[in-house]
Structure 1
Amino acid sequence: MPDRASGSLVEKTWRMILEGDPAARRGQPAVLEAAYAEPRLRALFPFPSHGALNFHRNTQFPWSNDLPFIVGDAQSCIVYAPLGTPQRVLGQSLTPQEAAALVVAHLPPDCGPAFDGPWPPPDSPTD
């Protein structure tokens, strides 16, 4: 894990979660560490909640909620596609590392680093 005194909100959030900061959300350590080891996931906003590790393209509510996520622990993980996707389970009985790699494999091509702010992106067209 990087040893930085400052950085983006995404970097600070990852650091707080991985270091067990009392103000940070809690998640499964093995899953968090495997996700953090993947550069594309490390650039997204981590949101552990209710046994799942969600990834968002943005840092404030409302969340993007359009990316795959991991449910599980050090023993076994399931990767789910975002809500509204026909095939919900992308993989099961995976190690945390396999699960993180599967999430990366299913990220949209335009999924870059998370931006600060609510979803949708500020430059997205409005209806």
Structure 2
Amino acid sequence: MPEAPDIETAWLQLLEGTPGTRQGDPLVVEAAYAQSRLRALFPFPTHGTLHFLCAAPPPWPGSDRDRLPFIVCGEQPYKIYTPDYGELLGEAATPEEAAALLVAHLPDAVGEDADE
């Protein structure tokens, strides 16, 4: 399955449910898109989670610049973890709360150049 070539296309494919592309939990995707800092990142749904990358793939192996928190989707509560499930940062009852909690744990300057 081909990856989107850029951040804008990746969000468009997720929001529209474009066939043949990675898809995530629609409610979590919409809540994440509503957050300008997350909208500036490449959304990467995989294995029931929604991850975020600083740029469209590649590079993959050993890239520390994309070690960002992520949301575990599916059933409530939504959980936000540090990379590799290192630490549970918190739980949220709604997708909107989950997206806001993730934004609160983003490193400084990540996604900050996004338009409010």
Quick one: distance in 2 between partners of 1:69 and 1:94?
16
Report the aligned-residue RMSD. Answer: 2.2
1:9 corresponding residue in structure 2: 6
Quick one: distance in 2 between partners of 1:19 and 1:58?
20
* Aligned positions of 1:29-68 closer than 5 A: 29-61=26-58, 62=60, 64-68=65-69
Confirm or deny: 8 A CA contact 1:76 1:96 kept in the other structure. Answer: no
Deviation per CA, 1:75-102: give whole Å up to 9, x if none: 43000012385xx101124311111001
Quick one: distance in 1 between partners of 2:29 and 2:103?
14
1:73 Cα deviation from its structure 2 partner: 3.1
- How many residue pairs get aligned? The number is 105
Q: TM-score by structure 2 length?
A: 0.80
Quick one: distance in 1 between partners of 2:47 and 2:85?
19
Q: TM-score by structure 1 length?
A: 0.73
Change (3 A) 1:10 1:113: farther
Quick one: distance in 2 between partners of 1:94 and 1:47?
22
SS of residue matched to 1:83: helix
Quick one: distance in 1 between partners of 2:31 and 2:74?
11
Structure 2 residue runs of 5 or longer lacking an equivalent are none
Residue 98 of structure 1 aligns with an amino acid whose one-letter code is E
Structure 1 residue runs of 5 or longer lacking an equivalent are 1-7, 115-127
Quick one: distance in 2 between partners of 1:30 and 1:65?
23
Quick one: distance in 1 between partners of 2:42 and 2:26?
16
Confirm or deny: 8 A CA contact 1:74 1:96 kept in the other structure. Answer: no
State the 4+ residue runs in structure 1 displaced beyond 3 angstroms. none
1:101 corresponding residue in structure 2: 100
- Which has a greater percent of helix? 2
Question: Whose radius of gyration is greater, 1 or 2?
Answer: 1
Confirm or deny: 8 A CA contact 2:36 2:111 kept in the other structure. Answer: no
